[in-house]
Chain A
Amino acid sequence: MPRPSVCLALSTSEKKQTAQKHKPSPESPHEVTFKKSKIKSPVTKRASNVEENGSDDEGDASEMEKNFALLTQKVSLQAPQDEISGGVSDEDVTGERHQAVCSNTSGSDEDENVSKPARGHGVGDELCPKDDFTKDLSEMSFEKVLQLQNKMGTKAYKKIAYGTMKNRQTGETVKQLSKHRPQEISAKKTVPFLRKVVPVKKTILRDPRFDDLSGEFKPEVFNQTYKFINEIRQREAEMVKKKMKKVKSNIKREELKYLLQRMENQERGRQRQEQYRQKDLQFKRKQRELVQQGHRPFYLKKSDKKKLELAEKYSQLKKGGKLENFLSKKRKRNAIKDRRRMPHQKK
């Protein structure tokens, strides 16, 4: 029974409030709607409180109406101030209102309610509205929480909901004290049987290939510092040749032959890599010169690079006189491949 009466009261007071509202602020309809939503939340709380108390007396309902009327008066008083200060004071306003709600539910005198609007925004209210806020936040529906967040701005909302960093950072001061203090550890953990007689250092295994300490791979630096390895390789190749001459069994000679071939191939591969590197470097140097002169640099595509390499290869083969040989072989290989790819013809 009390609920419908409360709703009626709300509707009447709302009308009153809107009537009052329109006079001072006709140009801000959205604020009016916001105020309405604000009013609704304390009312829902009020309703829940009513349910909790479980009092069905009409006296209570009438008292609530009176308090509610006072609340609305307060709202109207604060409305012009809100317009001036904008959204920043909204939190204070809501805080005060929540506080008013709390005090009302505790059954305080009406004089207190009257005196509250006289108080300034957020005077001594820092602690209480925060606690109320978190409690109310948990009670409000998610939609309303989002609305609140939109209104206040996420920064202000987070500050109130979770607290500032200053409040959270207490670990550092405690650490400073414990620097000179003795270590405090549990006395119930059994100690392992083997005793630490000498402090043994654990060796850290490092792979220099993947370690940042080794730095980046630079081929010129590498070639410079490890030049001696090429000489070692040459000597080894000579040794293998000599051994091949001496050795008697055929199998071993075969093995040595393969080994020698591998070594020579590797050497050739390395030299080719060097050549490519050198060519790249030359190209880059040319570009740098052009840039210095003032022209814009241009970069070759991979296909262009390949064409240039092919051209060089042909010119070298021509010098050696093996060009025809090379070209014929290539044509044969291509022919075989093409024939494989052609569709079969059935008889």
Chain B
Amino acid sequence: SDEVPKRKRKENEVEQEIEETPQEKKLRLAKLYLEQLREEEDKKVEDEAFESDLIAGRLKEDVLEQKGKLQRPLAGGLVAPDPIEIRLLRGHKLSVTCLCITPDEKHIFSASKDCSIIKWDVGSGKKVHKILGGRKGTEARHVGHTAHILCMAISSDGKYLATGDMNKLIMIWEAATCKHLYKFTGHKDAVSGLAFRRGTHDLYSASHDRSVKVWNVDENAYVETLFGHQDVITALDCLGRERCVTAGGRDRTLRVWKIAEETQLVFHGHEGSIDCVQLINEEHMVSGGDDGCLCVWSVGKKKPVSVVKQAHGVHGNAGLKEPCWVSSVAALHNSDTVASGSHNAMVQLWKCGQGFRGLDPLFTIPVTGFVNSLKFSTSGKFLVAGVGQEHRLGRWWRVKDAKNGLYIIPLKRQNREAETEQ
């Protein structure tokens, strides 16, 4: 007699599933989400001060994040750090080309022109793991890269690390143990940009063959390719939405790829090659080019919202002055702080104006050499700069008195909040 009611229940459940309309499904998912938020907030209440309408606050934050509105106006409170507090982590033999910070802010991965990848511990400044680079002909037997590593990315849960090199390969590593997992082949030229979509294990890769490829790391699978750039793609970035932004070198365009809809939005703006791009929030991005311009863009306008020309000054002999190339940019997520690096011996910090309409310089941090990569930590506590004697893409100049390594720059805030350093 028990079986009969069970079967009936199952039938009812099945019926319910079939009968559920999309609106009801949305309602059910929304209720689940609210439950989740409630649980999280309940946990937080014990630690932090109690505020009313916590869930409403969280929902509001989510909406603002989706719309790309500013949430953390931190730039006003930042203070230039003392040069003593800036730490240099040395270990690479040649110029550092790219780096990424783990989401828990405890480790930093960096790669350089000597084809090696080093995992650093932020607190102690020591090397945790080093993946050596192999020589040019040893691709078959060597576990690791044998050509310059141009880009790397770490997933938002800190599980996978992806690195791309000039040998058209993308290597997937397990971030915790630095164990080699997969090798993605498919690109026809050097891989120049990698990014994981937040909250997922979808990997987007951009290459010098002017295509953007989508991969699924969980299933070790290639998903699709997107075309559109007219020249090599120099950088790629992605946040939580299923879209990524790429900088296409000499074709002077930035493209936002809507992957689900298989379309692209084209933005025109720089005068020279666009070399680096980072997303500030879901609707705004910042880019730097070899014309020395630093541009802030909004997804709704095809021209940049604000432009700073000669962001790092000029260099060269008298009469042959040329603007310093902006070799890397970084943006603090969901805030109004932007950092840019070049080879004029300083990292410049900027504050975005109201509605991202203006860029005001805040202060500079002295760093000699080519700043090939800049990354803010997610909480904004420190800024990491990957520095080398040469530009990451070639050897146009060589700064002899520069040291190849990582600079960890702590960011202090003037406010009453704790001045935590790392």
Contact = CB atoms under 8 A, between A and B. Distances in A.
Asked if A and B are interacting partners, one says yes
Nearest to B298: A182
Contacts of A197: 250
Contacts of B174: none
Nearest to B302: A182
A157 B299 CA distance: 46
Interface string A145-181: 0000000000000000000000000000000000011
Given A191-B210, A197-B250, A183 B302 contact: yes
Interface in B244-301: 250-251, 256-259, 262-267, 299-301
Contacts of B263: 184-187
B70 interface: no
B119 interface: no
B230 A183 contact: no
B227 A185 contact: no
B338 to A, nearest CB: 21
Interface string B224-257: 0011111100000000000000000011000011
Interface residues of A, number: 15
B301 A180 contact: yes
B261 to A, nearest CB: 8
A315 B325 CA distance: 91
Nearest to B259: A187
A187 B302 contact: no
A196 interface: yes
A186 B227 CA distance: 8
Contact of A191 (B227, B267, B299, B302): B227
A191 B228 contact: yes
A191 B258 CA distance: 18
A151 to B, nearest CB: 45
B264 A185 contact: yes
Contacts of A188: 226-227, 262
Contacts of A203: none
Contacts of B262: 186-188
Contact of A187 (B230, B231, B264, B299): B264
B302 A181 contact: yes
A183 B265 contact: yes
Of the four ranges (under 10, 10 to 19, 20 to 34, 35 or more), the interface on chain B belongs to: 20 to 34
A331 to B, nearest CB: 82
A181 B226 contact: no
Given A187-B257, A188-B262, A191-B210, A180 B302 contact: yes
Output the residue of A182, A183, A191 with the most chain B CB within 10 A.
A182
A190 B227 contact: yes
A182 B228 CA distance: 14
B265 to A, nearest CB: 4
B271 to A, nearest CB: 14
A189 B227 contact: yes
Contacts of B259: 187
B265 A195 contact: no
A177 B240 CA distance: 27
Chain A interface main SS type: loop
A113 B3 CA distance: 55
Contact of B265 (A182, A190, A191, A196): A182
Contacts of A180: 300-303
A182 B301 contact: yes
B227 A187 contact: yes
Contacts of A183: 265-266, 302
A197 B210 CA distance: 14
Contacts of B301: 180-182
Interface in A272-325: none
A190 B299 CA distance: 24
A185 B226 contact: no
Contacts of A190: 227
A24 B312 CA distance: 94
A29 B155 CA distance: 86
A331 B416 CA distance: 125
Output the residue of A187, A189, A190 with the most chain B CB within 10 A.
A187
Interface string A230-245: 0000000000000000
A182 B298 CA distance: 10
B207 to A, nearest CB: 13
A190 to B, nearest CB: 5
A333 B102 CA distance: 111
B266 A195 contact: no
Contacts of B230: 191, 195-196
Contacts of A181: 265, 300-302
A265 B210 CA distance: 68
A187 B245 CA distance: 13
A187 B260 CA distance: 11
A335 to B, nearest CB: 82
Interface string B299-311: 1111100000000
Contacts of B229: 191
Interface string B198-232: 00000000000010100000000000001111110
Given A191-B229, A195-B230, A185 B210 contact: no
Contact of A182 (B210, B212, B226, B266): B266
A182 B227 contact: no
Given A185-B266, A187-B257, A188-B262, A195 B299 contact: no
A202 B411 CA distance: 54
B52 to A, nearest CB: 40
B231 A182 contact: no
A198 to B, nearest CB: 11
A185 B256 CA distance: 11
A194 to B, nearest CB: 10
A182 B258 CA distance: 13
Contact of B267 (A182, A195, A196): A182
A262 B270 CA distance: 65
A322 B259 CA distance: 95
B229 to A, nearest CB: 7
A19 to B, nearest CB: 55
Contacts of A186: 262-264
Interface of B: 210, 212, 226-231, 250-251, 256-259, 262-267, 299-303
Sort A-B residue pairs by CB-CB distance and give the 10 closest, nearest first: A182-B302, A182-B265, A187-B226, A187-B264, A183-B266, A190-B227, A182-B267, A187-B262, A184-B263, A191-B227
Given A184-B266, A187-B227, A189-B227, 9 more contacts: A180-B302, A181-B265, A182-B256, A182-B299, A182-B301, A183-B266, A191-B227, A195-B230, A196-B230
29 contacts: A180-B301, A180-B302, A181-B301, A182-B265, A182-B267, A182-B301, A182-B302, A183-B266, A184-B263, A184-B264, A184-B265, A185-B263, A186-B263, A187-B227, A187-B228, A187-B258, A187-B259, A187-B262, A187-B263, A188-B226, A188-B227, A188-B262, A189-B227, A190-B227, A191-B230, A195-B230, A196-B230, A196-B251, A197-B250
Interface of A: 180-191, 195-197
